[in-house]
Amino acid sequence: MKPDEPTNVNESTEANTLSRADFLVTAGKSALLIGIGAAGAASWNSLTSRLAQRKLTPLQEYPSKTWYSMSIDIAACIGCGKCVEACCAENDVPPEFFRTWIERYRVKTNGDVLIDSPNGGKDGPGEDDVPDDQILKSFFVPKLCNQCDDSPCTRACPVGATFLTPEGAVIVDYDYCIGCGYCIQACPYGSRFFNPKKNTADKCTLCYHRITKGKLPACVEVCPVKARIFGNLADPNSEISKFNRDNAVMALKPHLKTGAKVVYKGVTKEVV
Amino acid sequence: MYSLLFNPVSLFAQSTSFVFPNERHGLTWGILIVLYPYITGLVAGAFILASLVRVFNTEAVRPVYRLALLTALAFLVCATMPLLGHLGHPERALEIMMTPHVTSAMAIFGFVYAWYLMAVLLLEVYFDYRWDMVLASQRSKPFMKFVYTIFTLGVKDISPKALAFDDRAERFLSVIGIPSAVLLHGYVGFIFGSLAGNPWWSSVLMPVIFLCSAIVSGIAMVFIVYMVTTWFRRQRIDMMCANAIGRILMFALIFDLTLETLDVVHRMYEAGEWVDILRLLSSGYLYYTIFLVQFFLGGIVPLITLALMQAVKMTDAVKMRYYFLMAVLVEVGVFAMRWNVVIGGQLSSKSFKGLTTFRLEMIGKESLMTFLIILTLPFVILFFLTKLLPPWGGHSDESSDLPSGSTPVVGVPVA
């Protein structure tokens, strides 16, 4: 059996050699593929990183280069009411009226929905009058004028005293408003009110006097938890554009086709 | 419908009520805005009754032709008052006409109003009374002579040719007047019906319902004024005329009631997102004003009574009492309809989760007092108008052989 052994060895060597050749070919092919892959991946990476660095151009046409709006992160809001307080102080809002307010939603385990907004949420959340074990979930929804692009209120105004500014904010000309209240009736969100001091309609202006000077709206500035994101929708790199892009956001009462710019992240069926 | 009619159970059993914080201060539009469509409705209705004589030659109602015109005029003069009283800045009211905002339904009001007052009603009254005014200017004492001369605008030609022209002009104005009256009041309905944010208002039927109820209320108002003035003047009521108005009122009521019922049934059957709040609204707050006053007392009762009066024989005196009562009921019913639209439409919060509250102040800018003053004013104006331009006699005089339409031989004050 001994003389045969080398043969066997040879045979096995030959088999090994063959497999090595095969291996080399395979390895070569693999290396080539990996190389191409790596090169591709590298170029893809560089492409995507370059894309990431490149300034995005807006997909949507906006009427002007500054098209301001606000987005609301419902999950972030803690209902502290600082925004309401700041708004009232900044804009000289008459007592018991609100340009912005916070609604508290409490969904009970039996399905009931409790909604309240004591003093517009200015003094923080209302009384904790439901036992914890009966509450399934609760959250706060800050509300303000939704700054509609095709707003029912501007359409309704008989003298054009309320209008959409080139910055995207809907504001009221208090020196021109006749105080008929038609815009208040037309607003489906309850955002407008009749100002008893001015005898005109009044509403959130997105702090027009501040944003046109490059400042933030008062409510945004004081929010401790970044529940309100303000910015320029026409700039795809702005914080608000990124927020609206990256999150599932929705306008309120979308079926009314008001073109509301203010959108909400985390809005549920309970929200009115 | 069953639960709507017989089970006024609160929706609050399932969830708490919630109104937006800005809605807690009461309603934006109060009782004066209820009065506004009521008054314009009376104008449109009274004019349409007058037009029946001119355009459709309904001779039976000729005795109230001039009275209907003057009633329309008296109410039209007051039509803007509720609006002015309600505005936050009445001194800026003219901006609606100076700088109207073209997309606003309300901006057109000034023009519709001005057109109707200046181009239709005043001109029609002018042509109808020119002959009388010329005569009056010749017979009156100096001061009234001056007044009547101004009224004639200096045109003192009363030749048959001139009078024939008056008559043609008047007929032409009546033809224009009908679509104008329809526009005036259909438009008021549009102001409410075109607001998508308020489901109680947002309906294409709204202008049509407003118009039908306007016709009903206008006819009933002229009827009431005719009966009251005739009683005060101790004259006999023309029963041909009364029966004709009664029949016209009945037919108008059929249309009106059918459409209003269709509206309510449609809303309830459609059952959109607002159905809960609407059910709550119509079963609680508005149960009496809608079903009892608007539909039952203001619609079904007068309709059945007027229909029965066509069949049952009764003396003229009894008939007149019934006519008077039914006309008053119709007025109350139509006013309730305006109330249910204007106040009812604001009682629901825009959250559809709760009801707002209506508060009526007794004294103040938009109060019961202002309401009563503005509601009384047209009657005062009408009283003076009938003194100045007496609408009696005239056309029903059989002795008349002057061109039809402008013939009161008696009645012009010669004082």
Q: Which residues of chain B have pLDDT under 50?
A: 1-15, 395-415
From the candidates A104, A113, A136, A180, which should be mutated to test the interface with B, based on the most B CB atoms within 10 A?
A: A180
From the candidates B12, B14, B15, B20, which should be mutated to test the interface with A, based on the most A CB atoms within 10 A?
A: B20
Tell me how many degrees the CA angle B169-B174-B179 measures, rounded to the nearest 5. 135
Q: Residue B13: inside a domain, yes or no? A: no
Q: Which residue in chain A has the smallest CA separation from B105?
A: A156
Nearest to A181 among B29, B198, B351 (CB): B29
pLDDT in tens, A212-260: 999 999 999 999 999 999 999 999 999 999 999 999 999 999 999 999 9
pLDDT value for B45: 94
pLDDT value for B277: 75
B338: its two tokens: 């305006």
Q: Which residue in chain A has the smallest CA separation from B86?
A: A180
**Exposure string for A154-191, b = 16+ CB within 10 A, e = fewer:** bbbbbbbbbbbbebbbbbbebebbbbbbbbbbbbbbbb
- Domain with B257, as residue range(s), is 26-391
Contacts of B29 in chain A (CB under 8 A): 181, 185
Long-range contacts of A220-223 (CB under 8 A, 24+ apart): A220/A70, A220/A83, A221/A86, A222/A82, A222/A83, A222/A85, A222/A86, A223/A82, A223/A83
Contacts of B95 in chain A (CB under 8 A): 159, 176, 178
Q: Residue B300: inside a domain, yes or no? A: yes
pTM comes to 0.84
Question: ipTM of this predicted complex?
Answer: 0.86
Contacts of B101 in chain A (CB under 8 A): 157-160
% of residues, chain B, pLDDT over 70 = 90
pLDDT value for B265: 86
pLDDT value for A52: 59
**Rounded to 10 degrees, what is the CA torsion of A135, A136, A140, A143?**
-110
Cβ atoms of B104 and A157 closer than 8 Å = yes
Q: How many Cα neighbours within 13 Å face the side chain of B223?
A: 32
pLDDT in tens, A133-179: 999 999 999 999 999 999 999 999 999 999 999 999 999 999 999 99
Q: Tally A–B CB contacts below 8 A.
A: 135
What sign has the CA pseudo-torsion A268, A271, B5, B7? positive
Give the count of beta carbons closer than 10 Å to the beta carbon of residue A66: 19
What sign has the CA pseudo-torsion B87, B93, B97, B103? negative
Using CA atoms, how far residue A82 sits from A118, A122, A207, B159, in Å, is: 14, 7, 15, 82
Nearest-CA distance A114 → chain B (Å) = 6
Q: Residue B387: inside a domain, yes or no? A: yes
Q: Residue B173: inside a domain, yes or no? A: yes
pLDDT value for A50: 62
Partner A contacted by B25 (CB < 8 A): yes
Q: Residue B314: inside a domain, yes or no? A: yes
Number of separate domains in chain B: 1
* The CATH number fitting domain A68-265, selected from 1.20.120.1200, 3.90.1150.10, 2.60.120.260, 3.30.70.20: 3.30.70.20
| Whole-number Å distance between alpha carbons of B399 and B395 | 10
Better pLDDT: A40 or A106: A106
Long-range contacts of A251-256 (CB under 8 A, 24+ apart): A251/A146, A252/A146, A252/A189, A253/A188, A253/A189, A256/A152, A256/A188, A256/B196, A256/B197
Nearest to A193 among B22, B99, B198 (CB): B22
| Whole-number Å distance between alpha carbons of B225 and B37 | 20
pLDDT in tens, A96-121: 999 999 999 999 999 999 999 999 99
Better pLDDT: A60 or B364: B364
Residues A48-64 have a mean pLDDT of 66
Q: Residue B405: inside a domain, yes or no? A: no
Contacts of A160 in chain B (CB under 8 A): 99, 101, 104
From the candidates A127, A178, A184, A258, which should be mutated to test the interface with B, based on the most B CB atoms within 10 A?
A: A178
B22/A113 CB distance under 8 A:
no
pLDDT class of A60 with cuts at 50, 70, 90: low
Give the count of beta carbons closer than 10 Å to the beta carbon of residue B175: 13
